[in-house]
Structure 1
């Protein structure tokens, strides 16, 4: 069995966490392929090494001294090596890197990638595994896009069958130019490696025990999610649940490899399993989770007999495309529809877009609604279940929360409602309570029992 174990920045923050990782890796002989991020925060007010390296790059670009920053970064690695008794020549290697950085000889991507590089070098020695440089196996095209075909071939050719430690977040072109993945790209690196090695499981180790069914800053003691599908995870991640980089799902989803999200500090916690299993289990919750985002804008467009006018919607959407604005949702009626976008995407262009719509689409009226929050209730077990939407809307009504927009995906695994920004947290709590008994989310068995009780009560009333 092959497990890819990816450890995030918080999991490699210091020597104490290195020791914890060694216990986790040594506990399971299947964990012989390890991917690491750069050292993260050791405490709340601490800085991530990656953020510090971006600052170094900015200082170099503007010809400002970065000596203090480089000294702080180097000390992070020196302390780990010293405390763990490692032989890797980190002082010499880091000094050579720092000299190149000060001289402006490194691109920003080369400079920032050294956070993962040095972390992986130290981790490889500590775990007793070979080091495999991501620049040698994670292949990029010159335009910065990933080449999965070449990456697969290189990992098969250069990967060490017995296991290795690989830095995440970066790779290189054929010419050896370092390229970075998106922030959070270490998750993607682990996913890529899992696909290329045809792994049985991709373990993503972080500082939380998997996904929670709601934000604990909003809902008190939300229930952990034991099992979730790739599609549900994508929905929750996109709408704000930021445990795992959403792009990390695609390589393993295509290969049918499950993901286990685990807590480095509490390795015995069950965590969350993400897979393509969509079967229904009676002891699973009706909903999987509730999450959302603030700061959306809805542009409402009204035109009499719009449904009879071919191409009208396309003309309006082409205007948003011209301004390179991504569309979130398009709730519609017979003679009206709304285009919902993220406020940050139109902060400099909203009124220009509105003016173009008036000129080119000649609607009868346009109304802009800002300060809109979208809340997504997600769950594969909602499909085909009567009463779910009714419970959700009733819960918001009882709280006196006005629903500004309703949308549901064609796959029926999510219900999205728009509310005022000011009602955001109150709405999430109300929806969560609607599907909770106070301590746990209601399960399918609870719904079935309630349906049976309702049928029995109806039968009694009918016989009177």
Structure 2
């Protein structure tokens, strides 16, 4: 059985974490394929090596000295090598890299990728495994998109069957030009490798013991999630839960490979299993998790007899498309609908969009609400179960929280409500409490509230 183990930046921050990783690898002979990120923060006020390397690239671009930055980055690696007694010539290799960086001989992608490269070099020696450069096997097209077909062929051709350590986050084109994945791309690299090796399990090791059912900064001591589906994870990740890069699920999801999110500092904790199993287990919670994001904007368009007018929604959406703004939700009524977008996406164009809607659509009214927060309640076990939305709305009503928008996916695994930004945390706590018995999110506290709850309008 093959397990691919990916270790994030916090898991490779220093020599002590390297030691923890070796214990984890030695504890299970199936863990022979390892992917690592660049060294992360050692403590709260510390900087990630990747962030420092991007800063070096900016200094070089604007002809500002980056000597101190490079000294700090190099020392991170020297300390790890010295404490672990490694023989890899990190000082010589880093000195060569630093000279090329200062001379402007490296692209930003080449420069930034060295964080993962040097981490993997040291880790390979420490674990006694071969090093496999991601540039040799993770294939990119010239437009920066990943070539999964070529990647799979290269890993089969060049991968070492007995195991290896590979840096995450980057790959290369046929001509050898280094290309980067999105930030957090180490998770994606591990997922890609798991798919190409047809692994039985993809383990993503980080500094938390899997997913929690809510943000612990908002809900005190939320319950851990033991099992979650790919769809639920995507919903939670998109709406703010940031344990795992949301794009990391696609390669393994397509291959039917489960993901285990584990804690490097507490390896015996069960963590969270992400898989495509959607069957109901009796003692599982109804609600998998509650999360959300702030800073959304809703543009409400009102027009009498709108339901009889063909094309009005299309015309409005084409205006947003013209400004390259992605649409989040479109709640609607008989004579009105709203277009909900992320505030960051329209910070420079909102009033131009409104003006174009007035000119081209000629609505009877248009209103902008810019203090909107969206909260997503996610759970595969909600589907087909009566009383869920009623209990949720009643819980918010009892707290005096006004619901400004409601949306539910057709698969019934999530309910999204919009509330005022000032009510964001209070609303999450109210929803969490509504489905909690104090120890587990198992059953509705009071089904009678659901029967008495009145459903608010879709758009307010």
- Bucket of the pairwise TM-score, normalised by the shorter protein: over 0.9
Q: Residue deviations 1:376-420, cap 9 Å, x none?
A: 000000000111001100000000000000000011000000000
- Aligned partners of 1:284 and 1:443 also within 8 Å: no
Q: In structure 1, the residue corresponding to 2:445 is in which secondary structure?
A: helix
Looking at structure 2, the residues matched to 348 and 72 of structure 1 have their Cα atoms a distance apart, in angstroms, of 37
Q: Using the alignment, how far apart are the partners of 2:451 and 2:108 within structure 1? A: 69
Partner of 1:388: 388
Write the deviation string for residues 325-377 of structure 1: whole angstroms up to 9, x where unpaired.
00000000111100000011111111110110011111111011111000000
Change in CA separation of 1:463 and 1:330 when aligned onto 2, cut-off 3 Å: closer
Instruction: Give a deviation string over 1:118-142, Cα, whole Å, max 9, x none.
Output: 0000000000000000000000011
After the TM superposition, which segments of 4 or more aligned residues of structure 1 sit over 4 Å from their partners?
Answer: 443-448, 455-459
Structure 2 match to 1:206: 206
User: Matched residue of 1:367: which SS?
Assistant: strand
Structure 1 residues 446 and 269: alpha-carbon distance in aligned structure 2, compared to 1, 3 A threshold:
farther
Q: Does 228-237 or 308-317 show the bigger shift? A: 308-317
Asked if the contact 1:298–1:372 (Cα under 8 Å) also holds between the matched residues in 2, the reply is: yes
Q: Deviations over 1:167-187 (max 9, x none)?
A: 000000000000000000000
C-alpha distance in 2, partners of 1:365/1:53?
50
Distance 1:463 1:318, change over 3 A: closer
Q: CA deviation at 1:444?
A: 8.6
Residue by residue, what CA displacement relative to the aligned partner does 1:280-338 show, whole Å, maximum 9, x if unpaired? 01100010000000010000001111111111110110000000000000000111100
Distance of 1:192 and 1:456 partners within structure 2: 44
- Offset at 1:443? 4.4
* Residues 463 and 308 of structure 1, relative CA distance in 2, 3 Å threshold: closer
The 1:359–1:445 alpha-carbon spacing in structure 2 relative to 1, beyond 3 Å, is: closer
Cα shift at 1:439? 2.5
Please tell me the root mean square deviation across aligned C-alpha atoms, in Å: 3.9
CA contact (8 A) 2:387 2:451 kept: no
Whether the aligned pair in 1 keeps the contact of 2:295 and 2:344 (CA below 8 Å) is: yes
**Aligned residue for 1:335?**
335
CA shift at 1:437, angstroms? Answer: 1.1
Residue 457 of structure 1 deviates from its aligned partner by: 15
- Could you say if the C-alpha distance between residues 162 and 398 of structure 1 is closer, same or farther in structure 2, counting changes exceeding 3 Å? same
**Aligned 8 A contact 1:283 1:444 in 2:** no
Matched residues in 1 for 2:296 and 2:84: separation? 49
Task: Work out the CA distance in 2 between the residues paired with 1:441 and 1:447.
Answer: 14
Instruction: Tell me if structure 2 keeps the 8 A contact 1:35–1:166.
Output: yes
C-alpha distance in structure 2 between counterparts of 1:445 and 1:260, whole Å: 31
TM-score, scaled to structure 1:
0.96
Counterparts of 1:170 and 1:257, CA distance in 2? 22
Structure 1 residues without counterparts, runs of 5 or longer:
449-454
Q: Contact (CA 8 Å) 2:205, 2:263: kept in 1 or not?
A: yes
CA contact (8 A) 1:285 1:444 kept: no
TM score, norm. by length of structure 2: 0.97
SS of the counterpart of 1:314?
helix
What SS does structure 2 have at the residue aligned with 1:143?
coil
- Structure 2 unmatched ranges of 5 or more: none
Shift of 1:446: 10
Moved more, 156-165 or 305-314: 305-314
Structure 2 CA distance for partners of 1:463 and 1:429, relative to 1, 3 Å: closer
